[in-house]
Amino acid sequence: MKGRCRPQPLREQALRAFREFDELNVEEVPVMAMLPAVYALRHNVSAYDVMYVVLARAAQCSLLTLDARVAASAPDCALLP
């Protein structure tokens, strides 16, 4: 497959997926102001997971997670099902 172009249907599916994602009107959240809070929690869980914790706190909502470490690090907002 090296050096070959993707079949046209896959390209069309990808473009359709991009359009559909754009139609979801996903809200982008600036994270720069949240980085100090992320840094403060760096020893508890991964930075990737901490971003969700910090975002949940900023939005004053619960974070549903299957990760017990995340839930234990943020008992004020993280919930296990």
Residue-wise pLDDT for 1-50, tens only, equals 566 666 677 889 999 999 999 999 998 899 899 999 999 988 889 999 99
% of the chain beyond a pLDDT of 70: 91
Q: What are the tens digits of pLDDT across the range 38-62? A: 999 888 899 999 999 999 999 999 9
pLDDT at 4: 66
HSE on the CB side for 20, CA within 13 Å?
6
Distance CA 64, CA 2 (A): 42
**Which stretches does DSSP call E strand in the chain?**
63-64, 78-79
Tell whether pTM > 0.75: no
Three-state DSSP at 5 gives coil
The total number of residues written for the chain in this structure:
81
pLDDT at 6: 61
Torsion, Cα 34 38 40 42, to 10 degrees, reads -170
